[in-house]
């Protein structure tokens, strides 16, 4: 099935004086997917998001969100897109419910409808019991969940989350990500989220885009990205042996599927083309060494990320 592109970015560039924050970015996000925008701080993720919402003007390039150009019709885009900024803030002296109702009123949602939706959303994000408490009593994680409810009250087609997991404890992150996934599944909502926490994003994203210094250096499903990057040695075996003698390493390297071996005391990292764990184990045992640990490793985003930064690929 060919999916419709809900966000299309082509040749997008943003310059602040001499600094190029976003450099000829071309990217598309399909309707109904969760897309992760990954990159270190200052890579241009937030700038890109601001341009998607029409809050910042691109220096060059074209953007289409739901078929609308946000630079010219920011209103229409803001009606269809929910944006949860990094470190979202609320009116602390109002209750969570009133904050939601205020947002609803700004979106011209009729009062009775707004109230119904707000209550439903508060239930969905697990804040029903705190609905009438002032926001100043909320924890960071609760505010983030309220933020999610806040952007959902206008029933957007796309939600954009800027660093949604920042500063939340691991349990809070897990709940938030589960909630995002649920929304995506139930309502077919498109989600674009930016993060520098690779591991977290990995769990829920259908596709990711890697962002470094304003450039998109790779985009695709995480598995494909890993394969693309690690064509030569897609499999990594972690081995712990004693003694890790030079002869043993030489013998392992002699295996035709092994591309290289890195040693760190008793730990060996063996990069290979084929899953040859059994053969390696035999080799080790035959050399009279003691095998304490052997595991096969799939590449996660951390490795992908790491490679980009150290290898400059």
Partner 1 sequence: MAAFLPEKISILFRRSPLTGEKASRAKHPFWVMVRKEVMDHINSWRFMILLGLMLLTTIASLYTAMSSLQRAIAEDTATSFVFLKLFTATDGSLPPFITFVSLLGPLIGIALGFDAINSERSRGTLSRLLAQPIPRDYIINAKFVASLLVITFMMIILGLLMMGMGILTTGIPPTPEEFWRVFFFLLVSIVYIGVWLNLAIMFSIKFKQAATSALSGLAVWLFFSLFFTMIVNIIVESTAPSHVADINELISYQGFVQNLLRISPSQLFSEATTTLLVPTIRTLGPITLEQASFAIAGPLPLGQSLLLVWPQLTCLAAAAFIIFGISYVLFMKQEVRSRS
Kindly list the residues in this chain that would bind partner 1 in the complex (CB under 8 A): 46, 50, 53, 55-56, 75-76, 78-79, 81-83, 85-95, 97-98, 101-103, 105-111, 115, 132, 134, 147, 150-151, 154, 162
Sheet order of strands, 19-30 included:
19-30, 5-16, 60-65
Q: Tokens 């052997």: give the residue.
A: 294
| Beta carbon nearer to partner 1, 161 or 272 | 161
| Beta carbon nearer to partner 1, 92 or 256 | 92
Give me the least distance between CB of 211 and partner 1, in Å please: 17
| Beta carbon nearer to partner 1, 51 or 248 | 51
Give me the least distance between CB of 99 and partner 1, in Å please: 9
Beta strands in 130-212 (DSSP E): 158-162, 190-195, 207-212
Question: Count H helices, E strands: the chain?
Answer: 11, 13
Candidates 26, 22, 16, 17; CA nearest to 45 is 22
Q: Tokens 């184990």: give the residue.
A: 281
The token pair that represents 97 in the structure block: 């419910």
Give me the least distance between CB of 18 and partner 1, in Å please: 16
Candidates 112, 52, 103; CA nearest to 76 is 52
| Beta carbon nearer to partner 1, 83 or 299 | 83
Candidates 238, 235, 236, 252; CA nearest to 293 is 238
d(CA 55, CA 48): 10
Give me the least distance between CB of 105 and partner 1, in Å please: 4
* Beta carbons within 8 Å of 214's beta carbon, 6+ residues apart: 14, 20, 21, 22, 23, 25, 43, 44
* Beta carbons within 8 Å of 312's beta carbon, 6+ residues apart: none
Give me the least distance between CB of 61 and partner 1, in Å please: 18
Contact 64, 8 (CB under 8 A): yes
| Beta carbon nearer to partner 1, 35 or 83 | 83
| Beta carbon nearer to partner 1, 81 or 219 | 81
Give me the least distance between CB of 214 and partner 1, in Å please: 16
Give me the least distance between CB of 44 and partner 1, in Å please: 13
| Beta carbon nearer to partner 1, 72 or 309 | 72
d(CA 103, CA 95): 13
Give me the least distance between CB of 85 and partner 1, in Å please: 4
| Beta carbon nearer to partner 1, 37 or 239 | 37
d(CA 281, CA 65): 53
CA distances (Å), origin 212, targets 20, 39, 160, 216: 12, 6, 19, 6
């Amino acid at each position: 099935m060919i999916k419709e592109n809900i966000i299309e970015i082509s040749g997008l560039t943003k310059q602040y004086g001499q600094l190029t924050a976003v450099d000829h970015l071309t990217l598309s996000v399909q309707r109904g997917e969760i897309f992760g925008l990954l990159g270190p701080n200052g890579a241009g993720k937030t700038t890109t998001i601001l341009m998607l919402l029409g809050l910042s003007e691109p220096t060059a390039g074209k953007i289409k969100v739901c078929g609308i150009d946000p630079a010219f019709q920011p209103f229409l885009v803001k009606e269809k897109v929910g944006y949860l900024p990094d470190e979202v803030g609320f009116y602390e002296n109002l209750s969570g419910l009133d904050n939601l109702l205020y947002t609803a009123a700004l979106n011209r949602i009729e009062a009775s409808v707004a109230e119904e939706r707000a209550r439903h959303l508060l239930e969905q994000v697990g804040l029903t019991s705190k609905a009438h408490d002032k926001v100043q009593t909320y924890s960071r994680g609760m505010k983030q969940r309220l933020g999610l409810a806040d952007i959902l009250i206008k029933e957007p087609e796309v939600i954009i989350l800027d660093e949604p997991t920042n500063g939340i404890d691991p349990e809070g992150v897990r709940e938030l990500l589960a909630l995002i996934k649920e929304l995506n599944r139930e309502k077919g909502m498109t989600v674009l989220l930016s993060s520098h926490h690779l591991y977290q994003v990995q769990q829920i994203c259908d596709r990711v885009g890697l962002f470094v210094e304003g450039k998109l250096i790779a985009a695709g499903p995480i598995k494909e990205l890993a394969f693309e990057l690690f064509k030569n040695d897609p499999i990594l075996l972690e081995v712990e042996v004693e003694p890790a003698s030079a002869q043993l390493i030489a013998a392992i390297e002699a295996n035709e599927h092994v591309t290289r071996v890195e040693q760190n005391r008793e730990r060996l990292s063996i990069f290979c083309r084929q899953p040859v764990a059994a053969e390696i184990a035999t080799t080790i045992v035959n050399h009279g060494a003691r095998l304490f640990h052997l595991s096969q490793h799939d590449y996660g985003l951390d490795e992908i990320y790491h490679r980009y930064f150290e290898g400059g690929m």
